[in-house]
Amino acid sequence: MGGEGEKWCVVTGGRGFAARHLVEMLVRSGEWLVRIADLAQSLSLDPREEEGDVGRALRSGRAAYVSADLRNKAQVVAAFEGAEVVFHMAAPDSSINSYQLHYSVNVQGTKNVIDACIECKVKRLIYTSSPSVVFDGVNGIYYGGEAMPYPKKFNDSYSETKAEGEKLVMNANGRCGLLTCCIRPSSIFGPGDRLLVPSLVNAARAGKSKFIIGDGDNVYDFTYVENVAYGHICAERTLAAGGVGADRAAGQAYFITNMEPIKFWEFVSLILEGLGYERPRIKIPVSVMMPIAHLVELTYKTFSRYGMPVPQLTPSRIRLLSCNRTFSCAKAEDQLGYKPIVPLKDALKKTIDSYSDLRSEHHVVKSKPSSSLGSGKIASTLLWKDKKHTFTVLLCLVVFYYYSFGCGYTFFTAMAKLLSLAAMFLFIHSLLPAKMMGFKIEKMSPSVFHLSEGSSRRLAGSITYYWNSAAGIARSICKGKDWTLFFKVAGFLMALNFLGAMSLHTIYVLGVPLIFIAAFVYEKMVG
């Protein structure tokens, strides 16, 4: 597949986030002809790539695309034919909870990659591993080194199978002249990321980004994606150089970071603030979140067979967000000559600039409580947006309480008295002059009491909308798949049952103040 004198390299998973940046770096170097291997049957470039180095390289023949499934050895062999180097970066989505998928790609797929390298006489294999191969999901890691052992129990199936794949690659070193090396990049971020930054923005828009899990002092090592690509190139160059350096690096694993540890929640805050959102500020102790996470996980284990979606709130995720995870790059610096080419400050700026479409000004942000209440007068009253109107409503509610409950009247007697009082007020108000003692008296127009045709339609539309919403909820429950909705409905009905057992007097005395206080507090917390 390559002519004499041509140096071909292959990037597996070449359309992945970090792999795209490695492909661009390899193409720009001019040292390699690059074969991009991935699952898709054909290659589809975005406009930036089409006009950039990758697009030009594909048109000139200095890059090529090949469809290959790592689980199919014949396809892998065909993709590697004539290649001198393989950068094995392909891996399934780590957030997918499927041991079978992870094992088939990370272990069986890696076996096929190694066998194909030997069959095609590939000289060097650089494997993209993960720092999670030394993380047990419980104990934090501070300035961890490559001498750390694999844990007895892994945090998840992805980490476990990545560790198995890493062992296979390191053990394959020296087989039929193949030199191998493993790179462990920590918490990759940068332009083109479809996980970290979009997830943070979605949380911010949903009002969930105000919370900090733990004390907020846990430190992380993040790695800009171009530094990850550069780490792979450093490893390949070291192996290619031969001599003592290649002997030391072959069969080894190396942590790759930006070498600038930062508090995890400070990093999150810088991203969110850069895009125009509020930084997290409300701290929730791990001891509070962990029992909830265990309950969620237990519920998932019980109902997952019935189609319950994988929850985000799990004990392992809570530990991951609240522990230290920093790693030493001393070995990579000493043996591979690796140093970050993009510092953290510049990396953050480049990342934020690349997500201009996710900025807050492109999204009309309404607080969750306000949206739930229709963002109208009811929202303004309950959320204390218009304090004058809120106090007026509270005064009316106090008067209503006095005439309906405080005096011991029956409901109809109380309503008759209130309507009499309202009629007297309206009659006297109509007799007052437009100005009295220097004060302007606003006259109440009769149109205030008229329900227009438009208002009638809106009212009918609202009633129809809520009826259809209730019918939609009933249909979803009948399908038996939306467990989140089922628990919400069940909780609402249980609360309604509880309220039904209380007297109307008790509900009014406790409920009215609670509604105003709860709405105000909720707005401040998640608004």
Q: Which residue has the tokens 């479409």?
A: 357
User: What dihedral angle (degrees, nearest 10) is formed by the CA atoms of 106, 301, 316, 329?
Assistant: 0
CB atoms within 10 A of CB 442: 7
Burial of 1 (0-12, 13-18, 19+ CB in 10 A): middle
Residue 283 appears among annotated catalytic residues: no
List helix spans (H) across 99-156.
Answer: 99-103, 110-119
Catalytic pick among 111, 121, 162, 366: 162
Burial of 404 (0-12, 13-18, 19+ CB in 10 A): buried
Tokens at 42, concatenated: 């054909």
Strands 188-189 and 223-224: parallel
HEC sequence for 199-228? HHHHHHHCCCCCEEECCCCCEECCEEHHHH
DSSP 331: H
Contact call for residues 57 and 13 (beta carbons, < 8 A):
no
Between CA 310 and CA 483 the distance in angstroms is 11
* Angle (CA) 226 231 233, round 5°: 95
Between CA 124 and CA 262 the distance in angstroms is 34
Contact call for residues 257 and 50 (beta carbons, < 8 A):
no
Between CA 275 and CA 203 the distance in angstroms is 13
CB atoms within 10 A of CB 153: 8
Q: Which residue has the tokens 């080419």?
A: 341
Tokens at 398, concatenated: 């106090």
Q: Please report, for the chain, how many H helices and E strands are present, in that order.
A: 22, 17
Between CA 271 and CA 359 the distance in angstroms is 10
Burial 48-73 (b: 16+ CB within 10 A, else e): ebeeebbbebbeeebbbbbebbbeeb
Looking at the annotation, which residues are catalytic? 162
